[in-house]
Amino acid sequence: MKTEKINVLLVEDEATLAMIIRDTLEETGVFSIYITENGEKGLRRFFEEKPDIIVTDVMMPFMDGFEMIRRIRQTDTLTPVIFLTARSAIKDVVEGFELGANDYLRKPFGMQELIVRIKALVRKLPPEIKATSLFTIGEYKLDTIAQKLYHRQDEEELSYRETEILKRLCQNLNQVVNSQDILLELWGDDSFFNSRSLHVFITKLRHKLSKDERIRIVNIRGIGYKLTL
């Protein structure tokens, strides 16, 4: 019986080390590896691939590993994270765990140790590790895989961005979702033009949810949006 591979997102700016890790893990036949070289690209790749585990360096250009995981943890609290770092100060280790890391491996490390730790974390995951694809919003139901919004007997197709924005709001019901994080994850940057585009999508979603008067998408000026019931 064929075993499904463990999908690993590796975020590492040292190209040689990244290649060694990828080749070593893939040679086992157990892992499939996605590589990016900084936190910005890692953030986008995470939401594209939905990996089983993240293995990331801390010190990287453009966006470091701590900031990348901070943003991921706003919408995903389950996917395990291993930090790889040469930094050994206790405060750095503590900061990593406070951000939501599951393990910490100091460089240099043995490849077998990394393999063992990845397998151990993935084995601990509950069957529902992948965030649910179905959400109930008052009288509505959202299916993020089918990209459809249901209201009683009616159904409406959503665009990819409409689906992903609404999913993030559902995952953080009654909590503010940061606009910058949405823009970086779904548009790739948080420019003024893209901010206006996000506002247009929010307006469309308000209209699509208008059949249940209890549902509100509140604009928290200068911060983001909040879905309330």
Task: Please report, for the chain, the start and end positions of each structural domain, with discontinuous segments joined by +.
Answer: 6-124, 134-228
**Among 2-11, 65-74, 107-116, 117-126, the least confident range:** 117-126
What is the C-alpha to C-alpha distance for residues 93 and 104, in angstroms, rounded to an integer? 7
pLDDT tens digits, 132-169: 678 999 999 998 877 899 998 899 998 888 998 999 99
pLDDT at 56: 94
The Cβ-side half-sphere exposure at 29, using a 13 Å CA radius, reads 2
pLDDT at 228: 94
Contact 116, 89 (CB under 8 A): no
Q: What angle do CA 103, 7, 113 make, to 5 degrees?
A: 40
Consecutive H or E run containing 178: strand 176-178
User: How does DSSP assign 106-174, residue by residue?
Assistant: ESS--HHHHHHHHHHHHHHS-TT-SPPSEEEETTEEEETTTTEEEETTEEEE--HHHHHHHHHHHHTTT
Mean predicted confidence (pLDDT) in 178-193: 85
Torsion angle defined by CA atoms of residues 179, 180, 181 and 182, in that order, rounded to the nearest 10 degrees:
50
What is the C-alpha to C-alpha distance for residues 153 and 49, in angstroms, rounded to an integer? 32
Q: Which CATH class is domain 134-228?
A: mainly alpha
Mean predicted confidence (pLDDT) in 45-55: 91
pLDDT at 1: 38
DSSP reduced 3-state for 138: coil
Mean pLDDT of the chain: 87
Tell whether domain 6-124 is in CATH 3.40.50.2300.
Answer: yes
Mean predicted confidence (pLDDT) in 94-105: 80
pLDDT tens digits, 207-229: 999 999 999 999 998 899 999 98
Copy the structure tokens of residue 32.
Answer: 């499939």
pLDDT at 2: 44
pLDDT at 88: 59
Mean predicted confidence (pLDDT) in 32-54: 92
Residue 104: pLDDT above 90?
Answer: no
Copy the structure tokens of residue 157.
Answer: 């197709």
pLDDT at 225: 96
What is the C-alpha to C-alpha distance for residues 30 and 61, in angstroms, rounded to an integer? 30
Secondary structure letter of residue 88 according to DSSP: -
Residue 62: pLDDT above 50?
Answer: yes
